[in-house]
């Protein structure tokens, strides 16, 4: 039975499309936010890397200034002694102002033929002076002075800057162009050979009586740490001397972890004093983790929460709208069926009354007239009972709905209630053989129940057995256990399909028999079930289509 049945629809039809659209919108926004964050990161990376490049160029300019200043110092005097140079460097307050400069030095070209005379001259002030390492080069470019004249720097005195390829290349460039030049990666000779540090040397040259040069030597690590102010950079920087990144050309690595295959980097090439440098930048681990995923994750979570909320709200709204319209439809259907059910017996009563009125005056024989009255009154009584039951059922339904269906228990005997019900229904039993059900009475069938309600249960099962029993025999059996009393009502009628065995106890369920024209509201078994539950009992059905049904009620003697 469709009307007023519990709504079985769900939010699937309405809610899921809303959720799907919400999810798609969320994904779109998440993607958009991811792309924005990534591009913002690229911009920031670009900006930060530019700042770093500027810092490097600015500092290198300062070092060049220093070299030019040194050249000026040399040009201003005819001959500069080691002492004067030491004094000059001391005045520069290098330790305080430029602790990153490992050494500032001065060197000259010495042709191989001039070496002995050159050595003689220098050994007057520095007895242990020598040119090293020994090479077959025609021209040598030994370091003459080197300050601060500390233990480490003393090791480099006399070192021939042309004896090593990268120094030679940078120095040649300085002589050739007259401009400041910087070397590729070198290892400073000041350092212990077992602990080499990558370094850089900045050269400037000029031609006096012979070609001369000045230079500042740096340990790359100290140089760049100073340039970056020892600060925590937002980026990780790797600096390579040359155009190809490799461990050989790597001169500085900010985080100390070389990442040769990292594709997530920004590369920038710069040219400093005639030398190419490659800088690789990547967001530092902390910045990367924070920025790239945080915002999209937040957008996704918030978006999905909203999508679910809208899904719920939309689902609930749609559900209540649908439930409301279904309820209205069911109410109209119920009113139409209930009116029909009430009208049928009323019309019959009206017909009987008219027939009595019309025919009674025509019948002269008083016995025949009495019989006519009696017949019509019997019929009217049956119809009135049917009407009464319908109205009672409808009242009970409203009582059950408002939890007002109450029971007044007393000690009663099931067999007695059964007898009274059979007696009351005797006219309706006329359709079955023997005009009465076959009853097998059990013993000890008393219990504490609401007599009126148990009568209602039995009456309902008996009238159903008559209605759906196809005029075949009806058997009623009562029995008992020490704690329970059972009553079963068996007919041999149309039977009930298995899929309805549970459903027939629902409100307004008619097990699909509407079309067969057997009248009813689908309320009787529902009310019966409720009453039995109020007594703590059970009701079950055994039935096969076309073979009949047996309804079994079991009640505890005291509940
Ligand atoms: P109604 O008889 O007014 O339809 P009920 O609640 O008493 O309402 O019964 C519900 C449905 O259960 C009936 O419509 C009918 O399909 C089925 N039914 C009840 N009793 C029997 C029976 N004895 N034999 C076959 N079907 C039955």
Over the stretch 231-245, which tens digit does the pLDDT of each residue have? 667 788 999 999 988
Q: 266-272 and 275-283 as β-strands: parallel, antiparallel, unpaired?
A: antiparallel
pLDDT, position 415: 96
Q: Whose CA is nearest to atom 14 of ligand 1?
A: 510
pLDDT at 318 over 80: no
pLDDT at 3 over 70: no
CB neighbourhood size of 446 (10 A): 15
Distances (CA, A) of 415 to 344, 421, 441: 33, 10, 7
Token pair, residue 85, equals 């140079």
What's the DSSP call for residue 5? P
Q: Do 424 and 452 contact (CB within 8 A), yes or no?
A: no
What per-residue string of b and e applies to 116-128 under the rule 16 or more CB within 10 Å gives b? eebeeebeeeeee
Ligand 1 pocket, CB under 6 A: 460, 464-465, 468, 491, 493-496, 504, 509-511, 513, 520-526, 549
Q: Whose CA is nearest to atom 8 of ligand 1?
A: 522
Instruction: Name the band, by pLDDT with cuts 50, 70 and 90, for residue 4.
Output: very low
pLDDT at 288 over 80: no
Rounded distance from Cα 510 to ligand 1 centre (Å): 6
What is the residue-wise DSSP string for 42-71? HHHHHHHHHHHHHHHHHHHHHHHHHHHHHH
What residues are paired with 236 via a beta bridge?
282
- Mean pLDDT computed over 377-392: 82
pLDDT at 2 over 50: no
CA distance 31 to 175: 57
For residue 391, the surrounding DSSP H or E stretch is: helix 366-401
SS3 181: strand
CA distance 502 to 513: 16
pLDDT, position 7: 43
Handedness of CA 160, 161, 166, 171 (dihedral sign): negative
| pTM across the whole model | 0.52
Among 460, 522, 547, 552, residue to substitute to test ligand 1 (most atoms within 8 Å of Cβ): 522
Token pair, residue 260, equals 């040769």
Q: Point out the ligand 1 atom lying closest to the alpha carbon of residue 1.
A: 14
For the ranges 54-63, 219-228, 262-271, the lowest mean pLDDT is seen at 262-271
Rounded distance from Cα 380 to ligand 1 centre (Å): 24
Rounded distance from Cα 504 to ligand 1 centre (Å): 7
Instruction: Name the band, by pLDDT with cuts 50, 70 and 90, for residue 293.
Output: confident
Instruction: Name the band, by pLDDT with cuts 50, 70 and 90, for residue 319.
Output: low
Per the omega criterion (within 30 degrees of 0), is the bond before 148 cis?
yes
CA distance 200 to 216: 8
Instruction: Name the band, by pLDDT with cuts 50, 70 and 90, for residue 39.
Output: confident
Token pair, residue 184, equals 């590729």
What per-residue string of b and e applies to 505-535 under the rule 16 or more CB within 10 Å gives b? bebbbbbebeeeeeebbbbbbbbbbbbbebb
Q: Whose CA is nearest to atom 3 of ligand 1?
A: 520
**Which has more pLDDT, 232 or 372?**
372
pLDDT at 33 over 50: yes
What is the average pLDDT score of the chain?
Answer: 86
Q: Whose CA is nearest to atom 7 of ligand 1?
A: 524
Token pair, residue 209, equals 């009586």
């Amino acid at each position: 039975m469709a009307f007023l049945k519990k709504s079985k629809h769900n939010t699937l039809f309405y809610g899921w499309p809303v959720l799907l659209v919400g999810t798609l919108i969320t994904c779109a926004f998440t993607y958009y936010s991811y792309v924005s964050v990534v591009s913002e990161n690229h911009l920031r990376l670009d900006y930060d890397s530019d700042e770093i490049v500027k810092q490097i160029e600015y500092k290198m300019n300062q070092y060049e200034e220093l070299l030019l200043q040194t050249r000026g110092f040399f040009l201003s005097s005819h001959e500069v002694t080691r002492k004067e140079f030491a004094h000059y460097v001391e005045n520069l307050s290098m330790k305080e102002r430029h602790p990153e400069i490992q050494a500032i030095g001065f060197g000259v070209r010495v042709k191989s033929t001039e070496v002995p005379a050159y050595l003689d001259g220098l050994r007057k002030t520095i007895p242990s002076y020598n040119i090293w390492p020994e090479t077959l080069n025609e021209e040598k470019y030994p370091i003459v002075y080197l300050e601060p004249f500390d233990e480490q720097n003393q090791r480099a005195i006399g070192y021939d800057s042309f004896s090593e390829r990268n120094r030679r290349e940078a120095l040649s460039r300085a002589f050739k162009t007259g401009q400041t030049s910087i070397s590729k990666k070198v290892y400073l000779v000041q350092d212990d050979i077992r602990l080499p540090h990558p370094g850089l040397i900045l050269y400037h040259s000029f031609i006096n009586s012979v070609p001369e040069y000045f230079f500042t030597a740096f340990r790359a690590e100290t140089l760049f740490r100073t340039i970056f102010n020892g600060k925590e950079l937002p980026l990780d920087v790797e600096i390579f001397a040359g155009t190809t990144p490799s461990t050989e050309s790597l001169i500085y690595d900010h985080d100390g972890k070389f990442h040769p295959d990292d594709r997530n980097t920004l590369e920038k090439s710069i040219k400093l004093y005639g030398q190419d440098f490659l800088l690789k930048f990547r967001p530092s681990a902390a910045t990367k983790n924070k920025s790239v995923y945080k915002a999209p994750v937040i957008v996704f979570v918030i978006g999905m929460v909203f999508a679910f909320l809208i899904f719920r709200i939309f689902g609930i709204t749609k559900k209540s709208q649908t439930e409301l319209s279904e309820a209205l439809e069911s109410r109209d259907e119920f009113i139409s069926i209930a009116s029909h059910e009430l009208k049928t017996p009323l019309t019959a009563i009206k017909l009987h009354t008219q027939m009595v009125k019309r025919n009674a005056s025509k019948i002269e024989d008083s016995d025949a007239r009495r019989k006519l009255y009696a017949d019509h009154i019997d019929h009217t009584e049956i119809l009135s009972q049917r009407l009464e039951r319908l109205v009672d059922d409808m009242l009970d339904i409203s009582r059950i709905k408002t939890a007002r269906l109450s029971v007044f228990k007393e000690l009663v005997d099931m067999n007695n209630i059964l007898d009274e019900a059979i007696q009351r229904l005797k006219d309706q039993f006329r359709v079955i053989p023997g005009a009465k059900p076959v009853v097998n009475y059990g013993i000890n069938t008393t219990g504490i129940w609401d007599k009126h309600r148990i009568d209602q249960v039995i009456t309902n099962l008996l009238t159903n057995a008559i209605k759906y029993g196809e005029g075949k025999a009806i058997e009623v059996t009562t029995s008992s256990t020490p704690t329970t009393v059972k009553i079963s009502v068996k007919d041999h009628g149309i039977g009930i399909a298995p899929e309805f065995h549970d459903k027939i106890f629902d409100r307004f369920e008619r097990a699909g028999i509407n079309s067969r024209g057997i009248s009813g509201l689908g309320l009787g078994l529902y009310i019966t079930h409720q009453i039995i539950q109020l007594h703590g009992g059970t009701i079950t059905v055994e039935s096969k289509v076309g073979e009949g049904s047996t309804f079994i009620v079991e009640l505890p003697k005291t509940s």
